Structure 1
Amino acid sequence: MSTISFPRSAAALLVLALTGCATLSPDGDLAAVQQLAQPRIGTAQLRPDPQAVAGLLAQPLDAEAAVRIALLNNPQMQESLATLGVSDAERVQMGRLPNPHFAIGRFTEGSTREIERTLSFNVLGLLALPWRAEWQGQQHELAKLQAAQDVVQLAADTRKAWISAVAAQQSALYLRDVKDAAEAGAELARRMARVGNWSRLEQAREQVFLADATAQLARAQQTAFSTREKLTRLMGLWGTQTGFSLADRLPDIPKTVTEMHDIEARALRDRLDVRAAVAASGYVAKQQGFTTVEGYFDGLTLGYTRNTTFDNAAGSKETKRGWELELPLPLFDWGGARHARSQALYLQSAARVRGVAVQARSEAREAYFGYRTAYDLAVHYRDEIVPLRKFINDELVLRYSGMLASVWELLADTRQQVLSVNSAIESQRDFWLADTDLQTALTGTSPGALASLASGAAAEASSTQGH
């Protein structure tokens, strides 16, 4: 009895081990994704929490609060995490034993009736279960890396949207001051032209400046509205939630710039898209051997059959038992094409790793160069242009008080000072956008567009030409 029961017990234990080794993640792998994205999101949570969102909206939003709300409330983020749950379910499903097939047939010939019962198993499915479970587990690891990239990208997009919204809000306020100064100048010019102290040409110049300032203010208000709406969409807000208030101004520029001499190494070591490409290539390489074996034994089936024949005339029955092994003969397909496909997939994945590595290195260098340039420009405005403009304005106020300068000189200089401050705000915005791109390029994923500095410089150039 012991020699018979032991193999049965071992088989039962094997079945239980294979069916019970894979279980669903209790939190949908949110903790794993949060750990992967932690360098860019800190302690921000990913599970929806309406009360936390309401608490963050109750005060003026800074960049960190906006990112937290987006991670808690963004519908696309929740969709991505739900997709991760689907991958987790597929991982568990792939680790389960394939169901056996049961077939029954009834055949009659004269007074003889035959009943055939067959229980069959897909042998390849049983033998390949560990490999397939491992493969699906690897796909789930890639899904977690992809979800972490989505988290990092959403955090970066939200941070940049907040920076743009606050900067646009500040610019609109300063351009309103420009318009107010233009209105004062135009009214004064109208009065002086009416009494004959000014020509119509000089009055027209002040009026066209007012018209231009009005148009610039309208564009600035539209930009402020658009950037705020973009931030609202990223945070997933609607209804009364859209009445949130932003911080009054952008953070101050750091006193010193961050020196980085190993940006390429950091990008290759820490970026999630690089890790995903390397992992995927390794998984494809592991699957090559199994793909070759599967090509030869695809369709291998083992069945147990029990046939019972009833002779109604004689009143007897006869039972036959046996097993059946079904194995496809490789007469036409020896698996050459399948093996070639496996080789091509590996070469494809290896090329993708090289491509991602080249892109990561280049984006890291570009992001750091943009970061340094944006910092130098912001410091230049903060330490040179704005103080000089303030000094000139203060001197003109003194000269005007001493009747050594006209009101027109004072108004013109006030306009220039406000425009300089507005340009300083834009340079400050560009620095924080470049800083976000740099951090994303080094520790997250591809920042996508690193054109924030270039677009800011182009806008500033066109604004200067307009003035």
Structure 2
Amino acid sequence: MKGKLISSVAALAVLSACADTATIGKVSTPRAGFAAVADRSQRAQTGTPAWHLSAAEIAAAEAQTKALIEGKTISADTAVRAALLNNRGLQASYAELGLSATDVWEAALGPVPTIGVSVSGLAGDVTRTLEATLLTAVLDAATAKPRTKVAELRFEQAQLAAAGETIALAIETRRAWIEAVAAFEAAGLIAQTQNAANAASELATELGRTGALNRADQAREHAFNAEVAAERADARLEAQLAKERLARLMGVSLGQMTFYVPDALPGLPGGPRSQVDIERLALQNRVDLAAGRLELQAIAADYRLTGQTRAVSDISLMAGIEIEREDGETDRNPVLEVEFEIPLYDTGKLISRRGSLEYLKAANMLAESAVGARAEARAAHKAVTGKHSVARHWRDVVLPLRRTIDEEALLSYNGMITSTFELLEDARDGLEAQLSAAEAKRDYWLAETSVTAAIWGGSASVGGDEEGDDE
């Protein structure tokens, strides 16, 4: 029995040396995998994130955020930078990345054999106990490499999920900044309307005292003044609430920190991006599609699928011309072939029906995600081009006409052809046009952020959490 005991202990010692040191070296650093997250965020042009692992780093991030925004009028880029530095929810998603790295580390360590001898009664069969322990360790060692491979793929998915959270926060923060600036711009324009309404109301009161204006016309001007006052109060409230939403995304409290946003959004650029470019970039860069491909690899590794048999496209687009007719006009849009390939493995020899179904489920979900990504990209293109056209129409056609009307109305008033009320009414109509133009400009900038979301976004979840064991 002594010889068996020595050989069993020796075998356990051999198993204890099976750790994958190369893999452990990659995942044992404090911020393992974060470089890939930062790289994808920078390629998406959404900013540079930071992962804080100590109270000192958190305090430094808060101080840096305060230096960025305290008492300043911040740009959209500054708001995004502050959010990536200081948003605690984002830091929680990075902790999930760290936990995934720990899973790889534990899998790469291999089995940790232990010797447990329990002596009870007159004589315990120590050799049999050790042999049973050794058998379990041998089975663990035999599956260590595929389990490590699956853990590594899950770790890559966790990196994509963290990158997706980073990009989503940057996009949401930029949208909140746009909404806040647009709200303050609208409040400023309504304040101008209020000034005109106040003047008309005061004039109506004076003319009423002289008997030159009847009570109905006086009431009409007073009612308009009161309505504009309500609209102004509502606009100011909406602006403050929009600023609160922006502050929350940046992880700051307006009660403890003061910052400002510009009074108006930037002007329109020359033109939006092209449709084909958006769709191609979406298929190449979306984190949910990349995570879906990794899910297929993880299932293949988990169920020992070896040998990719073929790859299929989610959809086939024939190169040619797509013709659309609307209101008697014909639009010709070039349609180029854009492929998104899904790898398929041979599942015919699988003993486990669960493995085959899991793989087919993941492949179909990936195909659905790819089709959805295409549709989202095309919708983002249509929205951004449409909103740009509308905003440009307000800027280049409507507002110049309104300025011409205001100039002519002033000339007529100076020539005593029209009354003061007619002049003020034209001025009010002009301010309404400015409000509509500002709203169209806001819609365009929001559509631009949707383009970034369509190219880089998507929900990249880490699979395997809900998978059951084979029975």
Bucket of the pairwise TM-score, normalised by the shorter protein? 0.7 to 0.9
**2:126 corresponds to 1:116:** yes
Aligned-partner residue type, residue 404 of structure 1: I
CA deviation string 1:416-467 (max 9, x = no partner): 11111111111111000001101210233379xxxxxxxxxxxxxxxxxxxx
**In structure 2, what residue type is equivalent to 1:39?**
R
Check conservation: 1:399, 1:405, Cα contact below 8 A. yes
Displacement of 1:184 after TM fit? 1.3
- Conserved? CA contact 1:167–1:426, under 8 Å: yes
Listed as ranges, the matches of 1:16-27 within 5 Å are 17-18=19-20, 21-23=23-25, 24-27=28-31
> Structure 1 residue 47: deviation in Å?
3.3
Q: Call closer, same or farther: CA 1:125–1:178 in 2, change over 3 Å.
A: same
1:147 to 153, 159, 162: 162
- 1:220-255 CA-to-partner distances (Å, cap 9, x unmatched) read 112111111111111110255542111222111102
Specify the code of the residue in structure 2 equivalent to 1:380.
H
Residue 63 (structure 2) pairs with residue 51 (structure 1): yes
Alignment of 1:300-315 (within 5 A): none
Change (3 A) 1:446 1:129: closer
Q: Within 2, Cα distance between the matches of 1:87 and 1:446?
A: 17
Task: Look up the SS of the partner of 1:243 in the other structure.
Answer: coil
Q: Does 1:268 align with 2:283?
A: yes
- Aligned to 2:118, the other structure's residue is in SS state strand
**How far did 1:275 drift?**
1.1
Which is further off, 99-108 or 156-165? 99-108
Matched, 1:34 2:38: yes
1:351-408 per-position Cα deviation (integer Å, ceiling 9, x unaligned): 1101101110111111110001100011011111111111211221222222222111
1:78 Cα deviation after fit: 0.7
Aligned to 2:357: 344
- The change in CA–CA distance for 1:218 and 1:107 in structure 2 (over 3 A counts) is closer
Q: Do the aligned partners of 1:25 and 1:88 also contact (CA within 8 Å) in 2? A: no
State the identity as a percent. 34
TM-fit CA distance, 1:138: 0.5
2:119 corresponding residue in structure 1: 106
In 2, the alpha carbon distance for the partners of 1:360 and 1:28 equals 29
Q: Aligned pair 1:214/2:229, yes or no? A: yes
Cα separation, 2, equivalents of 1:446 and 1:104: 49
Question: Are 2:302 and 1:280 aligned?
Answer: no
Q: TM-score, normalised by structure 1?
A: 0.79
Deviation at 1:215, TM superposition (A): 1.7
Aligned to 1:197: 212
Give the 5 Å matches for 1:53-72: 53-58=65-70, 59-72=72-85
Seen in structure 2, the aligned counterparts of structure 1 residues 373 and 446 have a Cα distance that, compared at 3 Å, is farther
Q: Which residue identity lines up with residue 411 of structure 2 in the other structure?
A: L
The whole-number CA distance in structure 2 between the counterparts of 1:134 and 1:71 is 31
- 1:105 positional shift: 3.3
- Conservation of the 8 A alpha-carbon contact between 1:40 and 1:444: no
Shift of 1:289: 2.2
Alpha carbons of structure 1 residues 50 and 28: separation in structure 2 relative to 1, 3 Å: farther
How far did 1:52 drift?
A: 2.5
Q: CA deviation at 1:85?
A: 0.8
Is the 8 Å Cα contact of residues 160 and 436 (structure 1) preserved in structure 2? yes
> Which residues in structure 2 correspond to 1:231-380 (within 5 Å)?
231-238=246-253, 240-289=255-304, 339-380=352-393
Determine the structure 1 residue equivalent to 2:148.
133
The verdict on how the C-alpha distance between 1:177 and 1:281 changes in structure 2, with shifts beyond 3 A counting, is same
Amino acid corresponding to residue 38 of structure 1 in structure 2: Q
Aligned-residue offset at 1:42: 4.9
How far is 1:162 from its partner?
0.2
Q: Verify the 8 A CA contact 1:273 1:444 in the aligned structure 2.
A: yes
Tell me if structure 1 keeps the 8 A contact 2:244–2:254: no
Q: Structure 1 residues 446 and 189 mapped into 2: Cα distance closer, same or farther (>3 Å)?
A: farther
What TM-score, normalized to structure 2?
0.78
Counterpart Cα distance in 2 of 1:442 and 1:31? 21
Task: Indicate if the aligned counterparts of 2:44 and 2:452 stay in contact, CA closer than 8 A.
Answer: yes
18-27 or 384-393, which deviates more: 18-27
Among 71, 75, 89, the alignment partner of 2:88 is 75
- What's the RMSD between the two structures over aligned residues? 2.5
| Unaligned 5+ runs, structure 2 | 1-9, 53-60, 307-348, 461-471
Q: How many residues in Structure 1 have an aligned counterpart in Structure 2?
A: 392
Conservation of the 8 A alpha-carbon contact between 1:162 and 1:231: yes
